[in-house]
Structure 1
Amino acid sequence: MVTRSLSVLGAAIGILLMQACSTPPRSVAYVANADSREISVLALDGAGAVKPLQTVPVSGTVMPLALSPDQRFLYAALRSEPYTVASFAIDRSAGDSAGQLKAIGQAPLPDSMAYIATDKTGRWLFAASYGGHKLSVSPIGADGVAGAAQQILATGKNAHAAVPDAAGRHLYVTNLGSDQVMQWRFDAASGALTPTEPPALALRPGSGARHLVLHPNGRHAYLLNELDASVELLDIDAQRGTLTARKHWSSLPPGFGGKPWAADLHLTPDGRHLYTSERTTSTLAMWKVNATTGELTLIGHQPTEKQPRGFRIDPSGRWLLAVGQLSHQMSVYRIDADSGRLAPQTTLILGKNPNWVEIVQLP
């Protein structure tokens, strides 16, 4: 009898352990609300539902956000004077406060920055200034606090994004007004940037290089051009750190006759699908990625929030969160792993002018 009871108890424990192991990690999203000067902290559950966890006030117009590689810290660039970067610690506990933010520091930035990103080590913060035509490198302390810039470099016209490669050896800076992507070698020990040879990739005049994502295979990158709403396939020379433009596609819906205004792009973690946003039509274009060639096949267009400047795919690759600058809310979409199509799940009202999304996964 005792043996049977122990057997039943063991089976029950085994089932509970299996259920615990199959429970997806908790995801927490951070949304920059520019005009209400706050960051929304949101819980995303396994069914695609989102709920507010925290609203964090900041001292200026908050736009680009960036996560540290270990997802322990969040950085926010404030684009109203005085230009600063705010540093936050992310609560990694297993309690109700998991994912919430704690302000730990603030430091000056040399200009209004349209984009920020950390390097692979988490010791450096890159920032690109659209209006100032410059790039800065700021040190990040062991405590996770970003300091004042130690290197400021001139770029082409309208620097829009600063994207480090996965190896931590190179940095790519898009220049919308100069139709180019600048290419830099990066020394993670000193934080120094030096130009490659050639120092930039020239693109089609009037295309308007905006945002860039690197494919996880390390061989391809995708560039979204703001002014003609095209997606450019780039080949990467990983050794030299240089890019070569190979082919481009329009991201606009059929019959579009207005002024293009493309905004953002992201790949699923497995690199099988790409998504791009366009603000004039308020749509998300869905793309299938050829694993061998990197070429794209357009799947279709998903209507989304009004003026979708920013969106993000969660680390599991199951959910896409898009925010609308003019709708002041978020839409959550389920990503079909096979087709890549988006299925609307829920919406949530946010602060004023939500424009940037970052997502972490917690145990």
Structure 2
Amino acid sequence: MTDSLVLVANSGDGSISTFRFDGDSLERLAVTGGLAGTSTFVVDGDRDLVYAGVKPGDGHEASGIVTLRLDRESGALSEISRRDLTGGGMNYLALASGGTVLLGASYGGGFGISALVTDGVVGEPVSRIEYANLHAVQPSADGRFAYFVSLGDDLIAQYSLGADAALTPLDPPTVEAPTGSGPRHLVLNAAEDAVYVLTEFSGQVLHYARDGETGALELREGADFFHPTQGLSVSRFGADPRDEHLIWGADLHLADGGRRVWASERTASTLSSIAVAADGSLTSSGSFVATEPQPRGFAVSPDGRHLVVAGELSTTVSLYTAGGDQLQLLQQVETGDKANWVRFV
């Protein structure tokens, strides 16, 4: 296979590590600092641009979105632009419309934004929405719709997305998640007729059917992804899952051509595999892999054969091969403090 790159955010160091991936191992090429508290980024691979959410620090009083240019040979990232934000930093960033629209979700600020991007420069927000503790956002592949996940309000807000980056609520404007479940991250399948949402508090992956014409979602079912023998209890907003040994869901990604969902849980530090049937329905996990401590973020390679996992209580990332619902550890390699976000390039 052709070598690719893997980027990992290290929030404790305020840095992003760049690794070369040759199909069997990771080699760290560069570490780019000056990115205070970075815990999310999105990559425009066609333009070799990285948009990173940062917190106040490194001489800046405001949170912001930093645009970085990626040198694929050296792995170095160089800043080319910065957009300061008021009201809170970004916890999730996504690109739409071929990289010309940037979407963001702020957990602490309780708001989401859409903005136009020109030559890597993020413009002023075109639309701003408000829901409690927004934690993620994803657009449809055609750029016509966007979905924001509100952990605090237990809902997914659904919008049409214009070419001018304007967000317009659908009818209905929101679709509910189970009360107290704490929806956190979401992914769309390749056909975009299903959306899967991970819940932080109840430890479920929720399956929503999606209407491709209207963009509207409808909740169908949920499947557990937390380890049943670890004594974990359902969490709640404001609780400390480490002190009370509570479910603490973090991230999810599709693999095996959409036939499998991988999900991470931070209290027991596990990855679990949930099978996806042809109709999009789910089977609760029966496969669990102990992994990096407190695995907040991970990524699946484009071919679905490898996972790279980062743990908030670790300075390493783990590389796995994936076969069905099993993972085999290939390598652990140093990255930085409080690693929490991973993307293949």
> TM-score, with normalisation over the residues of structure 1?
0.86
Tell whether the 8 Å contact from 1:269 to 1:315 is kept in structure 2 after alignment: no
Residue number among 126, 132, 137 corresponding to 2:109 in the alignment: 132
Separation in structure 1 between the aligned mates of residue 190 and residue 39 of structure 2, nearest angstrom:
26
Matched to 2:322, the amino acid is: I
2:314 corresponds to: 327
1:40 corresponds to: 17
2:36 corresponds to: 60
> Aligned with 2:23: secondary structure?
coil
Q: 1:282 to 1:139 in 2, by over 3 A?
A: same
Tell whether the 8 Å contact from 2:319 to 2:330 is kept in structure 1 after alignment: yes
Measured on the aligned residues, the alpha-carbon RMSD in Å equals 1.5
Instruction: Show CA shifts across 1:141-170 (max 9, x none).
Output: 1x223233233222x211111111112111
Displacement of 1:223 in angstroms is 0.5
Answer yes or no: is 1:357 the counterpart of 2:342: yes
Residue number among 50, 71, 85 corresponding to 2:26 in the alignment: 50
Answer yes or no: is 1:240 the counterpart of 2:227: no
Matched to 2:63, the amino acid is: Y
2:234 corresponds to: none
Answer yes or no: is 1:85 the counterpart of 2:65: yes
For the pair shown, the structure with the greater C-alpha radius of gyration is 1
Matched to 1:286, the amino acid is: S
Answer yes or no: is 1:177 the counterpart of 2:149: no
Residue number among 302, 306, 314 corresponding to 2:289 in the alignment: 302
Tell whether the 8 Å contact from 2:92 to 2:136 is kept in structure 1 after alignment: yes
Gaps of 5+ in 1: 1-23
Matched to 1:238, the amino acid is: G
Separation in structure 1 between the aligned mates of residue 314 and residue 197 of structure 2, nearest angstrom:
26
Residue number among 346, 349, 360 corresponding to 2:331 in the alignment: 346
Separation in structure 1 between the aligned mates of residue 252 and residue 41 of structure 2, nearest angstrom:
15
Separation in structure 2 between the aligned mates of residue 55 and residue 293 of structure 1, nearest angstrom:
39
Tell whether the 8 Å contact from 1:285 to 1:301 is kept in structure 2 after alignment: yes
1:27 corresponds to: 4
Count of residues in Structure 1 that have an aligned counterpart in Structure 2: 327
Separation in structure 2 between the aligned mates of residue 183 and residue 267 of structure 1, nearest angstrom:
21
Separation in structure 2 between the aligned mates of residue 356 and residue 191 of structure 1, nearest angstrom:
26
Query: More deviation in 145-154 or 247-256?
Result: 145-154
Displacement of 1:59 in angstroms is 4.0
Structure 1: which 4+ aligned runs deviate by more than 3 Å?
A: none
1:226 corresponds to: 200
> TM-score, with normalisation over the residues of structure 2?
0.91
Query: More deviation in 221-230 or 71-80?
Result: 71-80
Displacement of 1:46 in angstroms is 1.7
